[in-house]
Amino acid sequence: MKPQENQAPVDRSRLLPEYRTLLEEIDALGGPALETLSPQEARADSEVRLALLWGAKDEVAGIENLEIPNDEMKLKARLYRRSDARRTILFFHGGGWMVGSIETHDGPVRTLCNATRANVLSIEYRKAPEAPFPAALEDAEVALLWLRAKGEALGLDAESLILAGDSAGASICASLAIRARDLEIPLAGQVLVYPATDLAGTTASRAEFSNGFSLQQSTMIWFAENYLSGGTPPSDPRVSPLLTADLSNLAPTLLITADHDPLRDEGRAYAQRLIAAGNDVCYEEWQGTIHGFFIMDRAGKTARKLIGHIGEWAESLWKRHDDAERGGD
């Protein structure tokens, strides 16, 4: 997104070359900021723009488009199969709770399926402002409960499930993991890629990277206002998991932040709180990266490197899970 005129120049000197080039290309293209469009226009624009950030798509063993019953409606979902694997990841895409879809994240999710050697169920949750909070989180819980009920019939292992998501999707994952703990639903782990964890707070990274680094401050404000347009305060722990009083006994976590991301500091803070609460946490800050790099394969090699790393973490986690299960026999 092109920085607004009359703003001080941004310092991109510490970015990886692939992201400096990408941001310069975006600057040159120009175009309206998302928040100047209607939600419907922004959604249509993002369907094209986000999908273009990924290059050639991986082949996977199989793809099935599914529908998950949710009261009087049905949630769209896409199941990516890895041969005869039973391990399963429940994935929630990013997009500020307003844009993005299973289509915009089709490329990275295919790669995630192969990297983890597991099945991935990607969920199309409802979007704001037509469906403000708590709609997305309710949909996530419905998807989790449906997978646990129907997984066996689909050949999926829902007993050692990993939740995963990027940005707003990672925020949904974090809140869903807390909800799963409270419902005594076991999870094998959660992968949070640059999550939004505190919609009520202000941080140094939100100020430092407010413009010129992929995710603009004005866009973040617009996303949050629409997501909370149903009247939920930003301090509600269900939308700001960092503010949850008790973060103990949560699933093992891989939490990734980008060092040039407005959401960096709240991601750091959430990792610190999870660790302080006694959880098993692997926290990593990827240097020279920007918000959205999980889906930026076309820019360079880092997106696939990240997804490959997620695959290694997930396989190691499942191995430890299996060892623990055998030890308990």
Q: Which residues participate in catalysis according to the annotation?
A: 167, 261, 291
Q: What's the order of all strands across the beta sheet hosting 119-124?
A: 62-70, 73-81, 119-124, 88-92, 162-166, 189-193, 253-260, 281-290
| 120 neighbors 193 (Cβ within 8 angstroms) | no
> Among 213, 226, 165, which residue's Cα sits nearest to residue 192?
165
Look up residue 222 and give its two tokens: 């617009």
CA angle 147, 152, 156 (to 5 degrees): 70
The three-state secondary structure class of 61 is coil
> Among 243, 79, 255, 75, which residue's Cα sits nearest to residue 166?
255
Which own/partner pairs from 244-250 qualify as long-range (CB within 8 Å, at least 24 positions apart)?
244/178, 246/277, 247/178, 247/273, 247/274, 247/277, 247/279, 248/277, 248/278, 248/279, 249/181, 249/278, 249/279, 250/177, 250/178, 250/181, 250/190, 250/274, 250/277, 250/279
Q: How far is CA 155 from CA 283, 298, 311, in A?
A: 32, 33, 20
How far is it, in rounded angstroms, from Cα 219 to Cα 77? 27
Rounded to 10 degrees, the C-alpha dihedral 305/311/316/320 comes to 150
